[in-house]
Amino acid sequence: MRFETKAIHSGRSIDKSTSSVTMPIHLSTTFERAADGSYPNEFVYGRESNPNRRALEDCLTSLEGGYDCVTFASGMAAITSVIEALPSDKPRQVIMPNDMYFGIRSLLSETDIGSKFDMVIVDMTDLQEVEEAIKSAPTGLVWMETPSNPLLKVNDIEAVTKIAQEAGAYTVVDNTWATPVLQRPLTLGVDFSIHSVTKYIGGHSDLMIGAVVAKSDSPMLTNLRAWQHSKGAVPSPFDCWLALRGVQSLAPRMITHCANASEIADFLADHPNVEAVHYPGLSDHPGHHIAARQMSSFGSMLSFQVKGGQREAMDVAAKVQLFTRATSLGGTHSFIEHRASVEGSKTMAPPNLLRLSIGLEHVDDLKEDLSQALE
């Protein structure tokens, strides 16, 4: 089956008791044993598994071309679990990119995760720097985020993966921004692909789930399943049901998302009050050629720097009328956000940078809104 067909059919079946086409929401926290003590449908307890969750995991596994999927209550729960699931016989050094989701920086600095592992931050777009970091000490895990948040840096997935594999390290790609529609890291050799399902896969800003799709069976995947069951950070049946509903339209949504973003990027690149535009679809973007090779399109996230400083950028965000000033991304609405003020003193975002999540509105309306805000 091709992607669009998998998104609609994978993990689903007609309900045998009612013949309903749409899967019911299974809210039960426990499941009956057979007379011999067995579980005929393999479901035991809601924390361990649930029909809606298993259906979503099967669907995401199919879309990424993986072996199995483990879902969690949020993207951050998935990220935390992946780091902690590094097997005990692997080195504790973890290589991470210098431009990455701020929530991970907070995780490393505000919880015990940062003290349990030796975190080495590198420019993941510089292969020599990656190789030197891996050679500096035994490495257990290499983390990629491409395109990155908020500067949209592009990592060469195959090249970084090759360096990591030669050192015996696991590899992970945060594939949230690209989605499996545009980029499939597992087919490029990566061990795990992570998603905040909350974003594009759900697609409507109304659920919270994280997912980790594994390329193959491994001790790390075994640990992830154990973490899911024993630590209990599992998504609700209703959120899984919503995600399965949302993913059916993922492919056609991404077509519109990407087309709108490309046009917005061109518009901003030509605007006299814009200093810089960060979008891999622009031919002068440093990672354009790599993105063109490993992605089928360039996504719908972009950031731009307003001429001036933080005040000028905040003024633009304050004057928009159609864009919503909100955190998060990947929904039907277009969002604008001043990342530096959201992230505070530890931010790596330039003070004049605004991040855009381009939605499904008519692109001319979006351009007109940005035009009046930039005047």
Supply the pTM of this predicted model: 0.96
pLDDT band at 105 (very low <50, low <70, confident <90, very high): very high
Query: Percent of the chain, pLDDT > 90?
Result: 94
Respond yes or no: is residue 279 known to be catalytic: no
Q: Which of 53, 199, 253, 339 is catalytic?
A: 199
Identified catalytic residue from 101, 170, 200, 279: 101
Q: Is 266 a catalytic residue?
A: no
Position 57 scores a pLDDT of: 98
SS3 annotation, the chain: CCHHHHHHHCCCCCCCCCCCCCCCCCCCCECCCCCCCCCCCCCCECCCCCHHHHHHHHHHHHHHCCCEEEEECCHHHHHHHHHHCCCCCCCCEEEEECCCCHHHHHHHHHCCHHHHCEEEEECCCCHHHHHHHHHHCCEEEEEEECCCCCCCCCCCHHHHHHHHHHCCCEEEEECCCCHHHHCCHHHHCCCEEEEECCCCCCCCCCCCCEEEEECCCCHHHHHHHHHHHHHCCCCCHHHHHHHHHHHCCHHHHHHHHHHHHHHHHHHHHCCCCEEEEECCCCCCCCCHHHHHHHCCCCCCEEEEEECCCHHHHHHHHHHCCCCEECCCCCCCCCEEECHHHHHHHHCCCCCCEEEEECCCCCHHHHHHHHHHHHC
From 68, 156, 174, 239, active-site residue: 174
Tens-digit pLDDT profile for residues 238-256: 999 999 999 999 999 999 9
Residue 42 has pLDDT above 90, yes or no: no
Q: What is the mean pLDDT of residues 347-355?
A: 94
Encode pLDDT of 148-183 as tens digits. 999 999 999 999 999 999 999 999 999 999 999 999
Residue-wise pLDDT tens digits, 132-153: 999 999 999 999 999 999 999 9
39 as an active site residue: the answer is no
